[in-house]
Amino acid sequence: MMWSVEYYCDIHGKEPVANFIDSLSMELQTKILRYIDLLARYGVLLKEPYTKQIRGKLRELRVSDKSGNVRVIYFTYTGRKFILLHAFMKKMMKTPKTDIDIAERRMKDFMERLGGI
């Protein structure tokens, strides 16, 4: 059974992850969308090297190609659903705290507006 994958949408109707993906090369967009499809297909069974636990409920989808390393931070929501919160080009070994903080704020906003787990 497939999982659903949704982009976080802020109160202004903006989807930061979708906007980030749209800004990338077509080749990298295609690869990221394939990984998102794998996430939908395998759900919580998709492990490293595709995904990795970040902190608490946050996980990251890990996409690499010749352009660099892209990370998409997401969390699991009720009803077999993933919410994609934040995406960025990774330039350091560790995921920057600022990017984790952005994802946590968006998760908190999502939960407050749409209900808890």
Q: Are strands 81-90 and 4-7 parallel, antiparallel or unpaired?
A: parallel
Confidence at residue 79, expressed as pLDDT on a 0 to 100 scale: 83
Report the pLDDT value the prediction gives residue 35, as an integer from 0 to 100: 98
User: Which CATH number fits the domain 4-112, given the four candidates 3.90.650.10, 3.30.2310.20, 3.40.50.1390, 3.30.230.70?
Assistant: 3.30.2310.20
| Main-chain phi, psi angles of 39, to 5 degrees | -60, -45
Instruction: Identify any residues that bridge with 65 across adjacent strands, giving them in sequence order.
Output: 68
Q: What pLDDT, on a 0 to 100 scale, did the predictor assign at position 114?
A: 83
* 3-class secondary structure per residue, the chain: CCCEEEECCCCCCCCHHHHHHHCCCHHHHHHHHHHHHHHHHHHHHCCCCCEEEEECCEEEEEEEECCEEEEEEEEEECCCEEEEEEEEEECCCCCCHHHHHHHHHHHHHHHHHHCCC
In the predicted model, residues of the chain with pLDDT beneath 70 are 116-117
- Can you give the pLDDT at residue 116? 61
